[in-house]
Chains A and B, each alone.
Chain A
Amino acid sequence: MTGERASPQAEGRSARLISWAPLAWLLLFFALPFVIVLKISFSRQRDGQPPYEPVLDPSGGLSNLIDEARKFSLESYSSLLSDSLYLESYLSSILIAGAATILALLIAYPVAYAMARAPRRWQPLLVILAIAPFWTSFLIRIYAWTMILKDEGLLNHALMSVGIIAAPIQIYATHWAVLIGIVYSYLPFMILPIYNALEKQDRTLIEAALDLGATRLRAFFCVTLPLSLRGVIAGCLLVFIPAVGEFVIPDLLGSSDTLMIGRTLWDEFASARNWPGAAALAVVMLVLLVIPIGYYQRMQSAGDRP
């Protein structure tokens, strides 16, 4: 009778399997690599292949393994503190990412607001337009910005031809170029959550505020803005977190003195062949970013409470 249907037990099994799948994914592609990075961060730099020790080769027997394990140290972490370059990299990353987040918020909020207030039938198209840049490779779009921002680039040409400036101003290979690149690249991640929060808002709430004597501006600050705060915070985290670790944008648009942790990490790893140092940098950055992510999670679950 039920020949073609799976038995309830089989269905239960497959449901369990499905719930295990994301966990298995996380274990394989996040936890395991992270453990490897963690292990390297506690290792010592040496010349050779791989460029760190201990290697922990189980073929040498247990006693050899214990001897090797004695070589673990906190050296790379202490060097993070001793060399001001690392501290400056972290600080500068956080500053640049923070400034980019604020700039993106200031641009994205009016855009999201206009999208949410546009006629209903236009909104799907506007959302597609907001994410349209993703259809072109990220790398190509950043290269395109070098063409725009260079001294002889489009922007300087345009500014000079309308007479705003007399000589080219240097934007390319400055912090400003990095900032522009980050804001441009991550803007959709700010627009979409804010749009989502605004679009769901009941517009009669604004009418109620106006009716009760609030001007349009006060209605915005008393009702619209607080009710979209969840989208604002989500957008800020979605921009800030990846921007802190950004590598490509400072590498292509910034100057050699644009310190960002992603670049410092790459320099340690590739040029200095200091794998333990690079791994320690990565671990500290992850720990730093877990704080805002944890805050976001808590806020999300608090908001979901009935």
Chain B
Amino acid sequence: MTEPLVRIESVSKHFGIVQAVDQVSLQIDRGEFFALLGPSGCGKTTLMRLLAGFEAPDTGRIFIDGEDMKDVPPYRRPVNMMFQSYALFPHMSVARNIGFGLLQQGLPRAEIDTRVADLLRLVRLEGYGERRPDQLSGGQKQRVALARALAPRPKLLLLDEPLAALDRKLREETQFELMHVQRDLGIAFMVVTHDQDEAMAMAQRIALMRAGCIEQIGDARSIYEEPQTLFVAEFIGEINLFDANIVASDAGPRVIGVGPLQFSFAAPAGMPAGFAKVAVRPERMVMSHLRTACAAEGEGIIADHAWLGDISVWRVSMGDGRIVRVSRGNAEAGAVFSRGDRVFVGFDPASARVLAS
């Protein structure tokens, strides 16, 4: 097995009484686009600062390219960071900002100039070399920050909320630009973000963090479709959670619905008996004016309908007042549902995740 680029081994870090990072282990491969996703305060920024060397772990070890990073100061790590605020040096021109890292490496002037020119071309800022940071727009600053962080040719680039300061339109464009740059240069990227769309769009693998721990690591599809914990299921996208009991029977443990939907199906292997949640994405729900053919089904009245362009969302109020969300692509054919309709909603157990609660 080849050595991964980054190996984090049960790293912990606390500030005062706050356990910011708690026994985290993960690996990042060479050339991988990795995302640390989580709500604010989940420890993702601390983990990134541990990688950059701005913080030292209390316990655990960090290896980058096989080398133990203990006692290696930030300026000797093969890691560069793009700061959320960009942190461009206000007293230096764009070219001197980008060349700063190269100057520290002691490269000759001529080589610095060529590489800075190459980087300006890469981020499409030719002709901006002599500008000052305060003469640039937000998007341009972001690209200067990217070029500056890429200049010393790091093995790993850390990006702290790289799109947070941009407006919506620019965000999507920049997102694809980052992906192109990453693919072209083959440098491993680690993005830290609280925005699931950003993480899912860009990253090959996502680590979802909560309260200093990693809840799940996987690609966007597996995190969305196969959440392993209730937190992951609720954090990513919209989801319906149905109460259930796991009960032993002659044919093995079964999941019995206790909420507005009636269901009973074989429990996945390894589920302990007791209380559980069944999680179903709105687009996996089946809705009909007639009885559905689903193994799990209940009856309710459509309380709200929202047409969102690409999809429609219905909120169905069940007999006990609980709300079930159902969504469907507007391009799909199907019956027309309106507010006040009495409908049956259900799901196929195969499209549900049973989660311990």
Listed in ascending order, the chain A residues whose CB lies under 8 Å from chain B are 202, 204-205, 207-215, 218, 222-223, 226-227, 306
Contacts and interface: CB of A to CB of B under 8 A. Distances in A.
Contact of A306 (B76, B100, B104, B134): B134
Contact of B83 (A208, A214, A306): A208
Given A205-B89, A223-B89, A227-B91, A212 B83 contact: no
A207 B83 contact: yes
A214 B81 contact: no
Contact of A209 (B52, B85, B100, B152): B100
A218 B103 CA distance: 11
Nearest to A305: B134
Interface string B117-159: 0000000000000000010000000000000110110000000
A223 B74 CA distance: 16
Q: Which interface residue of B76, B91, B148 has the most chain A CB atoms within 10 A?
A: B91
Given A207-B74, A218-B104, A306-B134, A212 B80 contact: yes
B73 interface: yes
A286 to B, nearest CB: 34
A78 to B, nearest CB: 47
A211 B100 contact: no
- Which 10 A-B pairs give the minimum distances between C-beta atoms? A213-B104, A212-B101, A208-B87, A204-B87, A210-B74, A213-B75, A211-B81, A214-B104, A210-B75, A226-B91
Name the interface size band of chain B: 20 to 34
Contacts of A222: 89, 100
Contacts of B76: 213
A211 B91 CA distance: 18
A210 B73 contact: yes
A213 B53 CA distance: 12
Interface string B53-75: 11000000000000000000111
Nearest to A306: B134
A226 to B, nearest CB: 5
Given A210-B75, A212-B149, A213-B76, 11 more contacts: A202-B87, A204-B83, A207-B52, A210-B73, A212-B101, A212-B152, A213-B101, A213-B104, A215-B73, A215-B75, A226-B91
Contacts of B100: 209, 212, 214, 222
22 contacts: A202-B85, A202-B87, A204-B85, A205-B87, A208-B83, A208-B88, A208-B89, A209-B100, A210-B54, A211-B79, A211-B81, A212-B152, A213-B75, A213-B101, A213-B152, A214-B75, A214-B100, A215-B73, A222-B89, A222-B100, A223-B89, A306-B134
B270 interface: no
A207 to B, nearest CB: 6
B90 interface: yes
Contacts of A211: 52, 54, 74-75, 79-81, 149
A209 B149 CA distance: 10
A212 B151 CA distance: 9
Contacts of B2: none
